[in-house]
Amino acid sequence: WVPPILTYDQVKPKTEQPSPDSYLIDVREPDEVVQGSIPSSVNIPLSVLPGSLYMKAEDFEKKFGFKKPRRDQEIIFYCRSGVRAATAGDIAKKNGYEKLYNYKGSWLEWVQKEGHK
């Protein structure tokens, strides 16, 4: 199984009009996220993703500061270059999540397209 790939042009509108039915999840580690992140994204480091998907909803929200994704909710993963995002999709798929996508260009493409340093 390979998660469907989204392009910058498909991800950009989702950052401008975030929806509670869709999560853009950054799976980079906290020391990478401090360098910047895509607007409206939330962070679950790949290193803790497998365990976090088993957490009770209340515990998840306390730990991460946002509601635990529903299994039928759209989830778009990104990382630095798209590799960890694909791994995150595999992990979520094995945990029963259905609407999974990989923003393959991830942070490197986002910064390039947005004109950030």
Q: Which residues are catalytic?
A: 79
How far, in Å, CA of 55 to CA of 15, rounded?
A: 26
10 Å CB burial of residue 77 (0-12, 13-18, 19+) is buried
How far, in Å, CA of 86 to CA of 103, rounded?
A: 9
Q: Could you tell me if 55 and 5 are in contact, meaning their C-beta atoms sit under 8 angstroms apart?
A: no
